[in-house]
Amino acid sequence: MDGLLHFGQTFLLLLRDVTPIAAILFGFQLFVLRRRINDPARTAVGMVFVVFGLALFLEGLELALFPIGRLMAAQLTAPEFIYGVAGIVTDPAWSDYLWVYAFAAAIGFATTVAEPSLIAVAIKANQVSGGTVSINGLRIAVALGVAVGVALGAFRIVTGTPLHWYIIAGYVVVIFQTTSAPRSIIALAYDSGGVTTSTVTVPLVAALGLGLAETIPGRSAILDGFGLIAFASLFPIIAVLGYAQLGQRRAQAVERKARKRGEAGSTDSHNPQISGDNAVSPED
């Protein structure tokens, strides 16, 4: 009964968030574009699915994942776990926190795979690219990026190095990659930075940052706890660009090998492909 009440609250809150969006959409559709909505019944059912589905999703996360995720983040960063004794850490060595980095990477990867807005963008990219971009390939590339990003972000909090140096270095890498990556992937790669950090990833990653910043002396939860989300949105860009570059390089290698074989064949005697073409053209 209590749970049902809580679910009702979540549903109403979401409804409040979605109402302005729906008002903008249908307001413009009806009053500016002056068009009726195509298949209003299907649209209405779809909208209900979206709101109800998100409410269930968030409520389930709040019930199952968030409490335990927060608890684990707190336990893994607690001095009792890392040093075996409670108390204040005086001079933390970055290597004492290996389990924290491992957890950061694992939870970053796992939550990104389940991120609904990433699923949406991956479905769209798959449709638009005619299947060249695979839904799961993109999601895994993005998730790997988040994993590296969040782990590095945890390392930054432990070592207390300034946030902006990491971000600026990341930008430089992105700019270099942009100059050589296949053009068709660039916009999608940039977009994948923005979609990683919504409903699932942010609460857990923020809890981890907060736990770290609170237990390490000289770190302030407010100043150093922030920044993990920035890491989680920068590194997927690098990962997606890198994934596309790898694919491109492999395709080029295959092509080069094929061309070499072709050249070897033509010096030998006749290139079979060319003779085949010649055989066809007189008929035309």
Footprint (CB under 8 A) of other proteins, residues 251-280: none
Is residue 176 part of the contact set for other proteins (CB under 8 A)? no
* Residue (of 175, 169, 82, 181) closest to 141 by Cα position: 181
Taking the C-alpha atoms of residue 16 and residue 220, their distance in angstroms, rounded to an integer, is 34
2 or 284: CB nearest other proteins: 2
182 or 276: CB nearest other proteins: 182
For residue 111, what are its two tokens? 């939550």
Among 82, 89, 94, 116, binds other proteins (CB under 8 A): 116
Among 1, 4, 5, 32, binds other proteins (CB under 8 A): 32
Among 79, 82, 134, 167, binds other proteins (CB under 8 A): 167
119 or 271: CB nearest other proteins: 119
93 or 175: CB nearest other proteins: 175
127 or 275: CB nearest other proteins: 127
- 41-100 residues in contact with other proteins (CB under 8 A) are 42-65, 68-69, 72, 75-76, 81, 99
* Residue (of 103, 112, 115) closest to 153 by Cα position: 103
Output the smallest distance, CB 274 to other proteins, in A.
33
Output the smallest distance, CB 242 to other proteins, in A.
16
17 or 263: CB nearest other proteins: 17
Among 158, 195, 208, 212, binds other proteins (CB under 8 A): 195
- 203-242 residues in contact with other proteins (CB under 8 A) are 222-230, 232-233
Give 158-185 as a DSSP string. HHT--HHHHHHHHHHHHHHHHHHS-HHH
